[in-house]
Amino acid sequence: MSEHAHGVTTIRNSGLKQPYHLVDPSPWPIVGAVSALLIVLGIVFAAHYGTYTFLVLGTLLALTTMFFWWRSVLTESRTPGMHSAVVRLGLRYGMMFFIASEVMFFVGFFWAFFNYALFPDNVAGVLHPIWPPPGIHSIDPLGLPLLNTMILLLSGTTVTWAHHSLLHNDRRGLVTGLGLTVVLGLAFTCFQAWEFTHAPFHFVGGGVYPSVFFLATGFHGFHVIVGTCFLAVCWFRARRGDFTPERHFGFEAAAWYWHFVDVVWLFLFTCVYVWGASAIVAG
């Protein structure tokens, strides 16, 4: 409320206390937007002209933005009074909506896969409508894909162990569980990279099946890398003692993300590797 007396405006506190946290002015949102623009331009220039300057600059700028912006968020989370119960609830809702958007992202890839797997006559240039198309030898699902499935399922148990250790104030179990999860995530990425480099088909010029396969499994692999980085940061924070049984949303969000990655892989393994390995003859 403001009052006017002798031409001077005075502001009087309303007495209302709100639980929301208004962030300080930051340059990182606009810098992040510029980095996203450079990355998109970089992809266009790399695809059409073979120039990677914009792509490299955009990637470096995005990594810089993530480091300093997330560092600011961590500083805020350790400042008393900033991340109130209402703010933490809002962060949880935000993470839930983010994971929901990621689910829809993968729905598009599964849609493309089933569109051609169930209706292989939609594949242009195929004389015999079968899936996988003629000339494609799919990867044995009982080889590396099964091993990677076991690795991700085991990583889901280790991150759950870490979460329960945190809730019981067992710092050693928290650090050990997180460390094992990070190692398993790195192992999955290494095996996935080996599988891609030794696949019996190629992304460029390979047709519909390699395109759908590499896009779906490749983007999942990218999410595994992001989740591994997420958990690695939580590991360092756990060693520093940032998490308590009452305040640990950063770790909780990482665990949610990792379980999402696990579930997506189970669908990929079942549909793309196992079910998609057998030829389906169109009626």
Domain boundary (28, 52, 83) is at: 83
Q: Are residues 254 and 182 in the same domain?
A: yes
Domain boundary (39, 63, 83) is at: 83
**d(C-alpha 279, C-alpha 133), whole Å:** 8
88 part of a folded domain: no
Q: Are residues 178 and 69 in the same domain?
A: no
239 part of a folded domain: yes
Query: pLDDT in tens for each of the 283 residues of the chain?
Result: 444 455 554 544 444 466 776 777 889 999 999 999 999 999 899 888 888 999 999 999 999 998 998 888 888 877 777 777 888 888 899 999 999 999 999 999 999 888 888 887 766 555 566 777 777 788 888 999 999 999 999 999 999 999 999 999 999 999 999 999 999 999 999 999 999 988 888 777 667 888 888 889 999 999 999 999 999 999 999 998 888 888 888 899 999 999 999 999 999 999 999 987 765 444 3
- What pLDDT does residue 102 have? 94
Please report, for the domain that includes residue 67, its CATH number.
1.10.287.70
Q: What share of the chain is helix, strand, coil (3-state, %, to 5)?
A: 70, 5, 25
4 part of a folded domain: no
Q: What is the CA radius of gyration of the chain?
A: 24
Q: Are residues 24 and 53 in the same domain?
A: yes
Q: Are residues 167 and 202 in the same domain?
A: yes
Q: Are residues 31 and 159 in the same domain?
A: no
pLDDT tens per residue, range 86-108: 888 888 999 999 999 999 999 99
> Using an 8 Å Cβ cutoff, are 235 and 172 in contact?
no
Q: Are residues 154 and 100 in the same domain?
A: yes
Cα torsion 133, 134, 135, 136: sign: positive
2 part of a folded domain: no
228 phi, psi to nearest 5 deg? -65, -45
Structural domain boundaries, residue 41 = 16-83
Q: Are residues 58 and 108 in the same domain?
A: no
pLDDT tens per residue, range 187-239: 999 999 999 988 888 777 667 888 888 889 999 999 999 999 999 999 999 99
Please report, for the domain that includes residue 216, its CATH number.
1.20.120.80
Total structural domains within the chain? 2
8 part of a folded domain: no
**d(C-alpha 169, C-alpha 172), whole Å:** 9
Domain boundary (83, 117, 140) is at: 83
Cα torsion 168, 174, 180, 185: sign: positive
Beta strands in the chain (DSSP E): 2-5, 8-11, 130-131, 280-281
